[in-house]
Amino acid sequence: MFRAAHPKNNLRTEDSFLKVQRYQDGQWVDYLSDRDFETTYTWQREGAAYSKAIIDWRIGTDTPAGTYRLTHAGDWKSGWTGKIKPYSGASSSFRVQ
Q: Which residues pair with 74 in a beta bridge?
A: 87
What Å distances lie between residue 61 and 5, 17, 95, CA to CA? 33, 24, 14
State the average pLDDT over residues 29-47: 95
Domains, the chain: 2-96 (2.60.40.2300)
Kindly indicate the confidence band of residue 85, based on its pLDDT and cuts at 50, 70 and 90. Answer: very high
Q: Which of 3, 35, 37 is nearest to 17 (CA)?
A: 35
pLDDT (0 to 100) of residue 10: 87
Kindly indicate the confidence band of residue 79, based on its pLDDT and cuts at 50, 70 and 90. Answer: confident
Pairing of strands 18-24, 66-77: antiparallel
pLDDT (0 to 100) of residue 14: 84
pTM: 0.88
pLDDT (0 to 100) of residue 89: 96
